[in-house]
Amino acid sequence: MVNDSSIASLAAAELDGIAAPRTARVRVVHTDGMWRVLAMEHIGHGELILEIKGVLVDQPSRYTVQIGEGVHIAPAPGRDDPSRGDDPPSYPWQFLNHSCDPNAVIAGTNLVAHRRIDAGQEVTFDYNTTEYEMATPFACQCQACGDGGSLIAGFRFLPTPRQREMYPRLAEHLRRKLGGSGAT
List interacting residues with Zn ion (CB under 5 A). 100, 140, 142, 144-145
Q: Which is nearer to Zn ion, 26 or 140 (CB)?
A: 140
For the bound state, the minimum distance from the C-beta of residue 138 to Zn ion, rounded and expressed in Å, comes to 10
For the bound state, the minimum distance from the C-beta of residue 80 to Zn ion, rounded and expressed in Å, comes to 25
For the bound state, the minimum distance from the C-beta of residue 97 to Zn ion, rounded and expressed in Å, comes to 10
Q: Which is nearer to Zn ion, 9 or 143 (CB)?
A: 143
Quickly list DSSP for 72-130.
EEEPPTT---GGGT--S-S-GGGGPEE-SS-SEEEETTEEEESS-B-TTPBPEE-GGGT
Q: Which is nearer to Zn ion, 100 or 158 (CB)?
A: 100
Angle at alpha carbon of residue 107, lines to 102 and 112, rounded to 5°: 50
Q: Could you tell me which residues come within 8 angstroms of residue 122 by beta carbon, excluding any fewer than 6 positions away?
A: 36, 37, 38, 39, 97
User: H or E stretch including 161?
Assistant: helix 160-165
Closest C-alpha to 52, from 1, 97, 91, 98: 91
Q: Which is nearer to Zn ion, 135 or 142 (CB)?
A: 142
